[in-house]
Amino acid sequence: MPSRQPTRPRKSPISARLAAPIVAEAPATPDPVGAEAVSEIFARLSAANPEPRAELEFQNPFTLLVAVVLSAQATDRSVNLATAPLFAVADTPAAMLALGEERVRDFIRTIGLFNTKAKNVIALSRILVEEHGGEVPRTREALEVLPGVGTKTASVVRNVAFGEEAIAVDTHIFRVSNRIPLVVAPTTDKVQAGLEALVPAPYRLNAHHWLILFGRYICKARKPECYRCPIADLCRFPAKTPAP
């Protein structure tokens, strides 16, 4: 009788498929646009909206500061709805302190994270009264030590309230900057530093407003409206959205 050959183990089709390395091809990030394109981009944004304005409603530097603190992870519309009655009764740090945390919380209950934000509003009001004579300081360093105030909030206050050439970077500006791209960077602080060095002087004061409004209404996160974008021919974003 012939000897039986040993049976060789059969390879699983799955393991055979997995034997080859899996390689995902990521799209390359385009290089930032050049200096001439940057100037043209801001010239067009300026022409489309010569006098841009913040969409948060405020009466003075203090109410602007409070509004920006409240706007974290919230829409400007929701903040405006809450702050209209709040600022009617408390538009200074002293008046806000007199109102107290519980009543502030009641005014802003419709805004996300209202408990923490109410604590921060009262705490920063106390510091303004006790250390700054009830005035909002102008420097980034003094603003950023206030409760609830980070780089973005400080930059908004410096720009909008005091006319400083600061470019506050929120999610809209971060996306737009990396998408066009103007500045390619992994953090908002690095994008801000890059933009403040890059944007031509005539446009630096209003650059913050133009980029936010552009990102909010045209260069949207999920589906940018490239077909009506005033800078589509200058933008290097490869996945432009076609007209509907």
Secondary structure element (H or E) that encloses residue 88, with its range: helix 76-89
**22 and 32 in contact (C-beta within 8 Å)?**
no
**76 and 55 in contact (C-beta within 8 Å)?**
yes
**Greatest extent of the chain over all pairs of C-alpha atoms, in Å:** 107
Pick the catalytic residue: 11, 106, 119, 170?
170
Residue 152 catalytic?
A: yes
**37 and 186 in contact (C-beta within 8 Å)?**
no
What tokens were used for 212?
A: 């936010």
**183 and 32 in contact (C-beta within 8 Å)?**
yes
Look at residue 185 and give its three-state secondary structure: coil
What tokens were used for 159?
A: 């720009």
Look at residue 197 and give its three-state secondary structure: helix
Residue 31 catalytic?
A: no
What tokens were used for 222?
A: 């999920």
Pick the catalytic residue: 11, 152, 189, 190?
152
User: Could you please report the per-residue DSSP string of 177-209?
Assistant: HHHTTS---SSHHHHHHHHHHHS-HHHHTTHHH
Residue type, 74: A
Separation between Cα atoms, residue 80 and residue 185, nearest integer Å: 32
Annotated catalytic sites, by residue? 152, 170
